[in-house]
Amino acid sequence: MDIAVIGTGYVGLVTGACLAEVGNRVTCIDIDEEKVATLKQGISPIYEAGLEELLRENISRSRLDFTTDYEEGLAGKDIVYIAVGTPQNDDGSADLTAVEAVCRSLSRHLTQDVIIVTKSTVPVGTNEYIKALIEENLEGDVTINIASNPEFLRQGSAVHDTFNGDRIVIGADSPEVLDVLETVNAGFNLPIVRTNLRSAEMIKYASNAFLATKISFINEMANLSERIGANIDDVSRGMGMDRRIGEAFLNAGIGYGGSCFPKDTRAIISVAQEASYDMQILENVVDSNERQRGIIVDKVMDRFQSIKGKKVAVLGLAFKPNTDDVREAPSISVIEKLLDEGAEVHTFDPAAMENARKVLPEGVHYTDSIEAAVKNAEIAIILTEWKEIKEFPIEKYESLMENPVVFDGRNCFTLAEVEKTGVEYHSIGRPS
């Protein structure tokens, strides 16, 4: 098939490269000239494991190319994927500005019949709106079919997830369109869920909302466990062995972040409000996650009462390991609170320092190693479970700090390892 993918963020780029890898001819369109120039050389502007290899291989086989020119990118294409961002409006609803701009460009440039496939996460009903918007301004005599094909990719392992996902969801209101998309996706060898447009849109939101709920649920169980003498590690393990529950996403911590869960939970609440339905469970999940982000500083304040003038090491700024993304990262509000309390904050992150500098307040010290951040600190706080942070021996905190007090927001160490040291250790959902 001849395919165009519009938007080269992590979803669009991974989608384009993987569709080329399974034998389609793909052109990725993006309005960012600098990005397109870099991509043409096989250089990825984002870090995704395995992506650059896929880009280079498929560019060299002439199955993948990039352009800023819609006319050139759309020429002869059977299918056009929309994979631009849908950030959050102030009221929590999804901002469709980029999707609408794409629709206007499509109306101007489409000259042949196509299937438009929406990858972007959009509120239920948006696909019908996209179709209407393109048709309203169409200049040529062409037929538009529309389909929804939501993505379930985790940032950092998006290529792996594309080939090893649990399912592919395709939604369309016509069996013929579903058949075409089934053929396009056949190369991935994954179970395919065929459904209508609105159900496909809903599956995406419901899946992210469920995972966010699972995290908030285990966080609440952790908060209770530490008050009643239970250990959340054992509670999670014991619960997760029940196959109906499953062990994934039962790691207690300081709350979920990133560009998906916070945005999508709020968006589905907003969709529910529009449908005059009070989505109580997700309102509680959002509030619970907000509270969870604050608990590490609460623990610090309970222990120290005042941290004015104290050196505090903050380890990990990214919203999760293996990414440089700090969007909605718990580190932002934690560091703001520490600064408000008068602490002297020294941070380290293996990848996210550059992005963190753009969003963190003035006055934060950025260091080039865990050692440098922790040296002579009175308090160390772990916020992201990077491999290097987990593997940094707990004994080293003892040698680097005079009276080592470590607050671990991601339970990187077992209580047994810590007990052998003189470190005062506070974690999530476990006895101190």
**What are the angstrom distances between the C-alpha of 1 and each of 106, 146, 168, 183?**
19, 16, 18, 9
Within residues 73-132, the interface with ligand UGA by CB under 6 A covers 121
**What are the angstrom distances between the C-alpha of 154 and each of 49, 54, 124, 234?**
11, 17, 22, 26
Residue 215 near ligand UGA by CB under 6 A = yes
Residue 320 near ligand UGA by CB under 6 A = yes
DSSP structure string for 274-291: HTT---HHHHHHHHHHHH
Would you give the binding string for ligand UGA spanning residues 242-281, x where CB under 6 A is met? -------xxx-x--xxx-xx--------------------
Among positions 66, 70, 81, 319, the unique one binding ligand UGA when judged by CB under 6 A: 319
Residue 19: which of 141, 185, 147, 144 has the closest Cα? Answer: 185
Nearer to ligand UGA by Cβ, of 17 and 180: the residue is 17
- Which H or E element spans position 170? strand 168-172
Say how far apart CA 23 and CA 18 lie, in whole Å: 9
Q: How far is the CB of 273 from ligand UGA (least distance, A)?
A: 21
Nearer to ligand UGA by Cβ, of 326 and 400: the residue is 326
Of 18, 103, 260, 412, which residue is the catalytic one? 260
Q: How far apart are the first and last CA of the chain?
A: 59
Q: How far is the CB of 156 from ligand UGA (least distance, A)?
A: 7
Nearer to ligand UGA by Cβ, of 155 and 427: the residue is 155
Cβ-count burial of 142 within 10 angstroms (0-12 exposed, 13-18 middle, 19+ buried)? middle
Asked if 329 and 257 touch (Cβ cutoff 8 Å), the reply is yes
Kind of pairing between the strands at 405-408 and 344-348: unpaired
Q: How far is the CB of 386 from ligand UGA (least distance, A)?
A: 11
Nearer to ligand UGA by Cβ, of 126 and 155: the residue is 155
CA dihedral 106, 111, 113, 118 (to 10 degrees): -10
Please work out the total of residues on this chain that contact ligand UGA, with binding judged by CB under 6 A: 20
Say how far apart CA 279 and CA 301 lie, in whole Å: 34
C-beta atoms surrounding 351 within 10 Å: 19
- Looking at this protein, which amino acid is placed at residue 153? L
Nearer to ligand UGA by Cβ, of 249 and 304: the residue is 249
**Helix %, strand %, coil % of the chain (to 5):** 45, 15, 40
Nearer to ligand UGA by Cβ, of 208 and 421: the residue is 208
Q: How far is the CB of 204 from ligand UGA (least distance, A)?
A: 7
Nearer to ligand UGA by Cβ, of 73 and 429: the residue is 429
Residue 208 near ligand UGA by CB under 6 A = yes
Q: Is 103 a known active-site residue?
A: no
Find tokens 């989505």 and name the residue. 279
Would you give the binding string for ligand UGA spanning residues 155-194, x where CB under 6 A is met? x---------------------------------------
Q: How far is the CB of 333 from ligand UGA (least distance, A)?
A: 13
Q: How far is the CB of 361 from ligand UGA (least distance, A)?
A: 21
Q: How far is the CB of 317 from ligand UGA (least distance, A)?
A: 12
Say how far apart CA 284 and CA 292 lie, in whole Å: 12
Among positions 48, 151, 344, 349, the unique one binding ligand UGA when judged by CB under 6 A: 151
Give the active site residues: 260
Interface residues with ligand UGA (CB under 6 A) are: 121, 151-155, 208, 211, 215, 249-251, 253, 256-258, 260-261, 319-320
